[in-house]
Chains A and B, each alone.
Chain A
């Protein structure tokens, strides 16, 4: 551990990221450019989130990493080990125990509280990017609050599919000003974006940082006659029986067999430990 500076990054890099985080906090939903560094992992593996985590982490923190809700996937395990090795912080899989949670594509089911920080890994921070490829133009559109194009996109969803088919990275408006990409979380998680914890978004390859202070007003874009709906699979978790969590569909054989399980592994195992059993679950061993 002595081979590295605390939390891997050098102090000047951390100061640069910290200044961007503070400006992001002061202008909720606005994308602050930052000089993203090469990290010892490929782009797309959460280099933005890792840099933000490194900049906010203190030696006393308890760190949790989730990938699509799970603590035990390759990405989550390697990032968790990275900070164990370079910052010597405590780590956990329990949402309630963590002070800093780095996430890829999910918000934990359990409500976060004041004092916790949720760090998102963001692939494409610009919500307008697939509608307008030029950064010069999208920056102008944000400056002028010119978001008509986004509503046209949602309208075209309705014209083509009968309802808004965008199911993840669903665009939101922050405090009535900036349209923001909440990262590819399922739209099921959108209503949770107004929360008591601090939310920080890091896009390493795209070199952008943005933030949501606690209790920020975050509204999912919609139409009066097609209001926003946070969808989930019409099923209960087959392991813990939860009827209110976001579910993954898991194919179990090549004969059409499948099961639905909570994507949040900590939420699911806590429920099973508490004695809840789903349709395909087995009684937890006491």
Chain B
């Protein structure tokens, strides 16, 4: 498929209903950190974007949400797809409300953490693709006692949680799978409870 037509395909065919279902999964995921949800009806963006990540972009991004494409996700094809389907302005990391990239390519230090009076004005990071992670135990809002999960690292997320109520919120996407880690979750190393 040529680059021009690739940018035009992969959107929702019935946006109101499909985005409602996808958002519901995204909401449940953010409400229950570490739980994995499998999306049914998905968008399709140019490689290397997973279909779950493409769906999140369709559901959450529009001309009001600056988006940063990190590392090898910053391709001409993806820029064209994002612009056609969402209209989101593509900006540098420090101005972004949403950030998309693989874990290796992400530079979290540049991202907005929100302010003391408006902690909601922080970036949401979509970590796309599989990663070689470590076993972690998660505690906090949305989790009954403790839950097991895997994260790419530990220290980064501990530092992020330590800044609460400031901080970044994460989605992890791979294939059709989606999970989340808000700033409110406390992360400890090791699978044992």
Given contacts A11-B16, A213-B31, whether A18 and B144 have CB atoms under 8 Å apart is: no
By a CB distance below 8 angstroms, the chain A residues around B179 are none
Instruction: Report chain B residues within 8 Å CB of A94.
Output: none
For chain B, the bracket of interface size reads 35 or more
Interface residues of B (CB under 8 A from A): 15-17, 19-21, 23-24, 26-28, 30-32, 59-62, 64-65, 116-120, 122, 124, 140-144, 164-165, 169, 182-184
Query: A59 near B32 (CB under 8 angstroms)?
Result: no
In the assembled complex, which residues on chain B have CB atoms less than 8 Å from the CB atom of A213? 30-32, 141-142, 184
- Is A198 among interface residues, defined by CB-CB distance under 8 A? yes
CB distance from A36 to the nearest CB of B (A): 15
Q: Nearest residue in A to B183 (C-beta to C-beta)?
A: A26
B27: contacting residue among A60, A177, A198, CB under 8 A:
A198
User: Which residues of A sit under 8 angstroms from B32, Cβ to Cβ?
Assistant: 213-214
A144 to B116, CA, bound (A): 8
The contact of B16 among A6, A32, A217, by CB within 8 Å, is A6
Scan A167-183; emit 1 where CB is below 8 A from any B CB, else 0: 00000000101100000
B87 (CB) vs chain A CBs: closest residue? A12
Given A27-B120, A33-B120, 8 extra CB contacts under 8 A: A14-B23, A25-B27, A26-B182, A26-B183, A27-B165, A56-B23, A59-B20, A216-B141
Given the known interface contacts A15-B60, A20-B120, A213-B32, the answer about A30 and B165 at a Cβ–Cβ threshold of 8 Å is yes
| Complex CA–CA separation, A144 to B119 (angstroms) | 12
Q: CB-nearest residue of chain A relative to B171? A: A22
Across chains A and B, the number of contacting residue pairs, with CB separation under 8 Å, is 115
A residues within 8 Å of B by Cβ?
5-7, 11-12, 14-16, 18-28, 30, 32-33, 55-60, 139-140, 142-144, 175, 177-178, 196, 198, 211-217
B16–A198 CB distance below 8 A: no
A139 to chain B, nearest CB (A): 5
- A residues less than 8 Å from B141 (CB atoms): 28, 175, 212-217
Interchain CB contact under 8 A, B62 and A22: no
The 22 sampled A-B contact pairs (Cβ below 8 Å) are: A5-B16, A6-B20, A14-B20, A20-B120, A22-B30, A23-B169, A26-B182, A26-B183, A27-B182, A27-B184, A33-B120, A56-B23, A56-B24, A58-B21, A59-B21, A139-B118, A140-B117, A175-B141, A213-B142, A214-B141, A214-B144, A215-B143
